[in-house]
Each structure stands twice: as structure tokens, then as C-alpha cells.
């Protein structure tokens, strides 16, 4: 059975489920990592993939008959990685502008890497 796995870090894996245990640890075969940017997606082949159960957010079976009925456009790996890089760069720039606007108003936003200290 072909399954989609959404991981805690936001990655999406698609592959054939070969094994699962009581801790939700997974072994996926013929796995691809699917990257979505807007209405486009790209698949990066990953092979056999072992996923620790604590990192699984969602596990679902893919209906093979409806898999091709998608409004998304498949593009090459290079193209989707470039679009992902541009999207990340755009988000970082908008975040910088937001932090700057808050500083001008006398407010501060804690950095994400220091949130664990509290």
C-alpha cells in the first residue's frame, strides 16, 4: 500500500509502507520526498526510509486511482528546489521587515532559537 507521511519538520514522504511497530516507527520502500511550492511540486527519490515514530504527524494511505487527479503541476527537482529557495528567501525578508517595524514601535520579538530557554 502506498502511503503519505507528514513529518514534524514539515517534510512530506511518499512510499510503500513495509513495516510499523508499537511506537509508530515506519519503514518506507521506494520513498520520494515531495516538495510543494504554490501549485507546483517535485519529487526527490530517497529509497528506503526509516522514520522514528515521534516524528510522524500524519500517516495516510494514497488512493492510486485518484493519485493522478491533482490540479498540481509536476516539475523537475532543480526547478522545485529553486522555487523553494526563493520562497524561503521571501519569507525571511518579510520577517525582517516585521521585526524592524516592531522595533520601531518599541516592541521586541524573541528569537525562535531562544524560546527553549524559558
Instruction: Give the domain ranges of the chain.
Output: 2-105
Asked whether the beta carbons of 50 and 17 are under 8 A apart, the reply is no
Residues with pLDDT less than 70, the chain: 67, 110-118
CATH for 2-105, options being 3.40.830.10, 3.40.605.10, 3.40.50.300, 2.30.30.100 = 2.30.30.100
pLDDT in tens, 30-52: 999 999 888 889 999 999 999 99
Residue with cell 525571511: 92
The pTM of the full predicted model, rounded to 2 decimals, is 0.74
Q: How many CB atoms lie within 10 A of CB 52?
A: 12
Amino acid at each position: 500500500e502506498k502511503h503519505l507521511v507528514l513529518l514534524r519538520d514539515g517534510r512530506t514522504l511518499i512510499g510503500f509502507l513495509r513495516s510499523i511497530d508499537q511506537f509508530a516507527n515506519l519503514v518506507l520502500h521506494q520513498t520520494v520526498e515531495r516538495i510543494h511550492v504554490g501549485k507546483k511540486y517535485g519529487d526527490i527519490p530517497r529509497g528506503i526510509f526509516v522514520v522514528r515514530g515521534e516524528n510522524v504527524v500524519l500517516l495516510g494511505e494514497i488512493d492510486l486511482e485518484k493519485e493522478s487527479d491533482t490540479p498540481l503541476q509536476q516539475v523537475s527537482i532543480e526547478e522545485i528546489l529553486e522555487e523553494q529557495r526563493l520562497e524561503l528567501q521571501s519569507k525571511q525578508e518579510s520577517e525582517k521587515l516585521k521585526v524592524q517595524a516592531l522595533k520601531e514601535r518599541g516592541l521586541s520579538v524573541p528569537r525562535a532559537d531562544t524560546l527553549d530557554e524559558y
